[in-house]
Amino acid sequence: MAGRPALARGHDVADRQDLTGKGAAVRAMPAPALLRVRPAGKPGAAATSSLGVRGRLLLAAVALLLPPLLGGALLLGGAYTRERRVAERHLDETAHMLSLAVDQQLGQSQAYLRALVASPAMAAGDIAALEAQARAIDLPKGYWFRLASAIDGRVLINTALPPGAPLPGGQLGPNLRAALDSGHSRVGTLFNSTLTNQQAIALHEPVYRDGAPAYVLSLVMPSTEFTQLLTDQQLRAGWIGAVVDRSGGIIARTRDPDRYVGQKARPEFIEAFNNRTSGRMPGLSLEGVPIIISFRHTPSQDLVVSVAAPRDELGREAWRGLLVAMAGAVALFALAMGLALRLARGITYPVEQLAARAASLGRGAPVPTETLGLAEADAVAKVLADAGQRLARSSAEQEEKVRAAVAEAESANTALFQAHRMEAVGRLTGGIAHDFNNLLQAVSGCLDMLMRRAADDRSRDLIRAGMQAIDRGAGLTRQLMAFARRQALRPEPVDVADLVRTMRQLLMHALRADIVLEMALPQSLWPAMADPAQLELALLNVAVNARDAMPNGGVLRFVAENVTLAPDHTEEGLKGQFVRLAITDTGSGIDPAVLPHVFEPFFTTKEVGKGSGLGLSQVYGFARQSGGTVHLDSVPGVGTTVTLFLPRAADAPRRPAPVVEVRPADRVETRTVLVVEDDATVSATVAAGLTERGFAVLQASRADQALALLQNGDTIDILFSDIVMPGGMNGVDLAKVALVLRPDLAVLLTTGYAENLPPLEGMRLLPKPYRMEQLLEALDALR
């Protein structure tokens, strides 16, 4: 076991547990937390106290996914910031570009002004020539020149008015003053021209003569000109371009110029415009939309150009990208989790199955053997299945052992009880038989004395009948004594095989023609120590029982062999060498409920008059008294085996005396006798004796059977019948009918009952008991 993996040791635990009981088995195999079986139908209940495979795999998936996802998020954040910056730069560049465009516009206007300022008429102060020259310049539509005195602001030229038309007075307003103060050209604030009735701005150029300011020449431009300029730049949709003057007034606007041109920009923007030459800041548009505004002063510092983009539009692309990426990440995450779960299931299922199988093993239930689809789990499952099989095998063996032990104990108990019972019955029987014998002896003595004194024949007949009854009683007590093992046995070494073989004739008469007699009697059989006459009687009793058990024929088999017994081989504890003779029939068998009683005296299942119940008692008593025993095994419907054990004899059997032919040699017997006798033993003995002497013998146990044979027409010379028989018809009546059927029939009757005899009407009577010679003499007398 040393080299086995840890799991293999689990078997041993399981094996041992089986001996200590199922409860212990379950207790001794606590499943680790990971292997705990989840109750069916409650998913997710597992791994409450520690992290299960599923949880660990999910964690692994998260751990694997998290860094790339975080990296991705950082990248996306960076991209978003970059994108936003690009958008902001684009806003700034647009503002710059617009400022340049506006500046260029202003530069053109300034060129017109410079042309006039540099003209000789201006130098000469010839206003009329200057006006003519100014009117001659082809200005864009809506533009006009104005010349005002630097001293008092009086208007000297206004090309918006027709030539010669009276000029308005004019004054030195803040715009002109500022231009004069700065000493160079300067854009003024927005104003509403009364002449053209539209918003306009002017570029003012101070003109010096002899080092002193003499005039301010202005070019007036309609504000629509700048709106158009902004519109021409084709800003991105949603963006708003605007031009604002120094005071924050809106000169031009790409969206809703009619509404907003002339209004002030929001104060926070104005403040920023005043403080910085360029910049970017969040805020609200005039419409109230959150915006990011980028602004820039024109290079001449006169005007501010701004571009505003709705704040939510800026970086919207980046935002959209971020969203897409996030959605992708979430999908990826879900996919990974799904995969991890699937993977986990591929592991948790086998693990849970393993746990369930381990639990089955613990309970001693069968362990399933189908594979789980996970190599490692399958290896463990195989070990578990093997363990389960071993466990099942060992429990089965254990159970079988226990069953066998219990059965053995039971049978030993039964046998012991049976032996005790037979012992007790034997003692009782012996006691009664003994006392009964004494009584018979006393009565016999009395009758003997009476006989000597009896004067008349009648009395003597009565006394004789009494004596016959006493003989019968004595026979009965002999049989009882035999059972009680108190009969006078004359044991001698017997060749059992030889004895059985010579009994064949006798057995054939005891059996019927439809019963096959088989014998397996080895030559090497030991001699047995037994009373041969009693052994013959025992075998005859067994054979007759077998015949009765096989009403439809069968096989009767004698098997003899030498056996050496140890004390535990038989209930009686026989020890040593024995000759065993087993006699097996194929008859009805014996009901198990009846079996314990068959050896008891007077126990019979046969109908009244058919059996005395003393046959097996004789067998038992004889066998036990001989120092052996008898066993009876029976299977209902299959058959019965009676086994005799007789102790081995130390000496060889004496050779049987050669059979002396008692009959004179000249007399060859050819007659046929019909023996009618209800006692099978007697009938068989008689038949065998007669057959030996040359008679042909027919047997019947009842009067009606005998009549059937007589009516058959078979050759029958003599009817030899018992008088008292079962079945209603006695021997005398049978003889009368027989004589009617066959008037030349010779009749010999026999009986043990001398009293109450019906009138015999001249028929001969042989009283029982008779010896064979007496019977032969009586038969000879019939000739």
Binding partner of residue 643 among Mg ion, ligand ATP, none, CB under 5 to 8 Å per kind?
A: none
Binding of Mg ion by 588 (CB under 5 A): no
CA distances from 411 to 405, 422, 557, 595 (A): 10, 16, 27, 13
The pair phi, psi for residue 640, each rounded to 5°, is: -135, 145
Which tokens belong to 243? 């031009």
Which listed residue (10, 615, 647, 731) binds Mg ion by CB under 5 A?
A: 615
- Of 226 and 620, CB closest to ligand ATP: 620
- Of 352 and 600, CB closest to ligand ATP: 600
Binding of Mg ion by 587 (CB under 5 A): no
- Of 408 and 518, CB closest to ligand ATP: 518
How far apart are the C-alpha atoms of 466 and 443, rounded to whole Å? 9
- Of 200 and 484, CB closest to ligand ATP: 484
* Nearest approach, Cβ of residue 541 and Mg ion (Å): 5
- Of 394 and 612, CB closest to ligand ATP: 612
HSE, side-chain direction, 13 A CA sphere, residue 628: 27
* Nearest approach, Cβ of residue 599 and ligand ATP (Å): 7
Report the residue number whose CB is nearest to ligand ATP: 615
Binding of Mg ion by 545 (CB under 5 A): yes
**Nearest CA-CA partner of 293 in 247, 229, 250:** 250
- Of 30 and 475, CB closest to ligand ATP: 475
Binding partner of residue 605 among Mg ion, ligand ATP, none, CB under 5 to 8 Å per kind?
A: ligand ATP
Partners of residue 581 on adjacent β-strands: 560, 644
- Of 607 and 761, CB closest to ligand ATP: 607
Residues that bind ligand ATP (CB under 6 A): 541, 545-546, 549, 585, 587-588, 590, 598, 603-606, 611-617, 640
* Nearest approach, Cβ of residue 539 and ligand ATP (Å): 12
Is residue 738 within 8 Å of residue 747, measured between CB atoms? yes
The pair phi, psi for residue 550, each rounded to 5°, is: -120, 65
Is residue 243 within 8 Å of residue 252, measured between CB atoms? yes
DSSP state of 514: T
**Nearest CA-CA partner of 765 in 701, 475, 775:** 775
**Nearest CA-CA partner of 202 in 192, 213, 215:** 192
- Of 468 and 641, CB closest to ligand ATP: 641
- Of 517 and 652, CB closest to ligand ATP: 517
How many Cβ atoms sit within 10 Å of the Cβ of residue 97?
14
Binding span for Mg ion by CB under 5 A among 18-26, 531-539, 611-619, 684-692: 611-619
* Nearest approach, Cβ of residue 479 and ligand ATP (Å): 9
* Nearest approach, Cβ of residue 597 and ligand ATP (Å): 8
Binding partner of residue 149 among ligand ATP, Mg ion, none, CB under 5 to 8 Å per kind?
A: none
* Nearest approach, Cβ of residue 599 and Mg ion (Å): 11
Q: Judging by DSSP bridges, how do beta strands 718-722 and 696-700 pair with one another?
A: unpaired
Is residue 566 within 8 Å of residue 575, measured between CB atoms? yes
Give the contacts of 534 (CB within 8 A, at least 6 positions apart). Answer: 482, 487, 489, 618, 622, 626
* Burial group, residue 465, by CB count within 10 angstroms (0-12, 13-18, 19+): middle
Binding partner of residue 721 among ligand ATP, Mg ion, none, CB under 5 to 8 Å per kind?
A: none
* Span 506-525, contacts to Mg ion by CB under 5 A: none
* Span 251-280, contacts to Mg ion by CB under 5 A: none
Binding site for Mg ion (CB under 5 A): 545, 615
